[in-house]
Amino acid sequence: MGKLDPIVSEFETEEEAQAYDTWFRAQVEAALASDKPRIPHKEVMAKIDSIIEKHRRAQS
């Protein structure tokens, strides 16, 4: 397989693109099959906002 156009793909070769696709699909399948408790979106965003604010204050 040949090289990919950098304007069209972030991967240099089709093999790299396929390997990433395979890895990504496995990650999604594992997440969907997981029985770990889900974290609500609002809770995640509140934590991230807190981290961002902490770093903003540290920059001042």
Domain spans in the chain, listed from the N-terminal domain onward: 14-59
Of 1, 29, 40, the residue nearest 17 (C-alpha): 1
pLDDT on residue 3 = 75
* pLDDT above 70 for 1: no
pLDDT on residue 27 = 98
State both tokens at 50: 């807190």
- Digit-coded pLDDT (tens) for 8-56: 788 888 889 899 999 999 999 999 999 999 999 999 999 999 999 999 9
Contact 21, 29 (CB under 8 A): no
pTM score, whole prediction: 0.58
